[in-house]
Structure 1
Amino acid sequence: MLELDKVSLHLYSEIRQNIIQLRQKIKSAVNSGMIQIYWEIGRQLDLVSNRTETDYGNNILQNVSDKLSKEFGSGFSYSNLRNMRQFYRVYHDFKSLSSSLSWSHYRILMRVADPDARDFYTKECTASGWSVRELERQITTFAYQRTITNQVSKTELPDKYTGNVAVPYKEFIRDPYILEFLDLKSSPEFHEKNIEQGIIDHLQSFILELGRGFSFVARQKHISIDGDDFFIDLVFYNYILKCFVLIDLKLGKVKHQDIGQMQMYVNYYKENMRENGDNEPIGIVLCAEKNDAVVRYTLGDDKNTHIYASKYMPYMPTEEELKNELNLRKLSFDNELENKNE
């Protein structure tokens, strides 16, 4: 009887896996076919309307919509046909489309006016497997802008980070980080450990906010230096950058001691924790308030240590607040460049 149950369970598992894989293939094929049809319809509509929004062109769209809807259903409404036409205009090259993204993904991506930002979200969404809701959050929270404020220039996220090319650490550091999903409540008893626990409880959301390629390694990572014990709040590994990412959480304004402590952690990992093929570790001090001058003077001209201070926002900011925050980051970055060039 036990042997029968064992064989039955094994057979069930194999059949179940085959069904799941087949369903995924069918879903992918259907999605790919739908995207191709919508793109082709958009191309045909664009040729007729000649890229103009005239009454004549709109009347043609309405007439075509009426006939298609009558035969194929509501998916070919006037507004949907306009979306298909816009889809073709935005993604003019069919080869640039990803079969892993749904029509709902593309409808959101089409709203992004900046081609660089749209390209960023398209690539990141494809690589990270974002749901429609996750993609919407990334766009709403200006993930692209929060990433490029740390870069010297706007560069595409390359698919290869190997060889003799300098490791693009700054392309993976955001500022600020938005942690509204933690639902943090300020109180006299509130400490860094509350943020840490919130992150652990919402780890998937936090990794999404960190960006592509991050995987969780440890919390309160214990290290011993000459008999003294230290604990790093959070440790991640980025499989794209091929390096450890150490995070320390600070409730208030970042201090020089915080930067110095993180530098010690990074140096320790650099000497003791790296495996063959690993790049140098990154240190991020995640704080409620930044002081770029303190960071700059604490680190000095040490270009071999990759330490960053990033602000966290415990709530979903308004668009105006985010723009102001990004403007402050850009101004700080420009000042830093001026100081380096003096």
Structure 2
Amino acid sequence: MTKSATPATPDQTNYAAVHTDIVALLEAARRAAARSVNALMATSYWEIGRRIVEFEQGGKDRAEYGQALLKRLSADLSGRFGRGFSERNLEQMRLFYLAWPPEHISQTASAKLAAARISQTASGELALSTISESLTRKSFDLSALAQAFPLPWSAYVRLLSVRNEAARQFYETEALRCGWSVRQLDRQINSQFYERIALSRNKAALLKKAERAEPHDLMTPEEAIKDPFVLEFLNLKDEYSESDLEDALIQHLADFLLELGDDFAFVGRQRRLRLDDSWFRIDLLFFHRRLKCLLVIDLKVGKFSHADAGQMHLYLNYAREHWMQPGENPPVGLILCAEKGAAEAHYALEGLANKVLAAEYQTVLPDEKLLAEELEKTRRELETRRIGRGDATEGEA
């Protein structure tokens, strides 16, 4: 009886080398994919802005004409392509084109390509030529023009909020030179880096310091793809959590509320909302049929703080203005804290129309103690399951 051949084990040193090489390749590919999506998105929005501006120029009263155009476009594009085409977003695309007009792009294209490390050889000259051609006509060759917009769309949105044109150009140049992430750009603008540079006696040292990124400035390719603007552009769902534990708790909580009876109707999960240029994420949104109101649920894996209560009231104000339908009662908020040893639940009932309504909400909604106990029980089960999987894996190794 012949012995079955044992599979050959790859040499550890050679395997480590090929594994490292493949990891680097995939990470580079993911970064390139994220940059490509962002560049095409910025280019598309610039082209939309160009068409809006050119259409406005044919109107007798540009202000009224333009506003009517944005309103109609918003309704039609949202119906066809989903999110991302609110009147505010379309207005930002219009402003994007006005702030980065064709002549501005033509004058600075070579500098931007150099900052983005595209060599000024024959291929670089060809890229500049292609960009120039795309600027002179309404071209659908977006990939050529995309080279003129090396920053992600969220960076251009942040730059649009800088009213001083010289400051805006400075931040754009430094973002390209230093390879700033959107978080880094936001931090530098908030710290008034442009004004500090103007007042500094040692500008070179300050500019050198700005090249260094802080730990929370860095963004992975996954985070870049999860950017709300990217998700809107690709019309993808943005249901994701920051941890496996949070994701499992949210899912279990949704199932638990639905099991309490048919009063709870599921509306959405990880619902994003945008205020000015900041994004927020509501974990769960239900509608309570008997109370005729929305229930906004926010889960906190960490310790509860007063900022969480303020954020919930922001959500409720937004829901009352944008999501509440005629004949419904004001929405109510539920904050759940899942920190180990300190699980708790609290309803945000302030601001309701009257005390009778608040009392009715308190009576009909699930007991806070029951929710806290269920949350604590679920968290323990999930942690035990996770530890069990870890032990099993170690035993197999």
TM-score bracket, shorter-length normalisation: 0.3 to 0.5
Q: TM-score by structure 1 length?
A: 0.43
The answer to which structure has the higher helix fraction is 2
Give the structure with higher Rg (CA).
Answer: 2
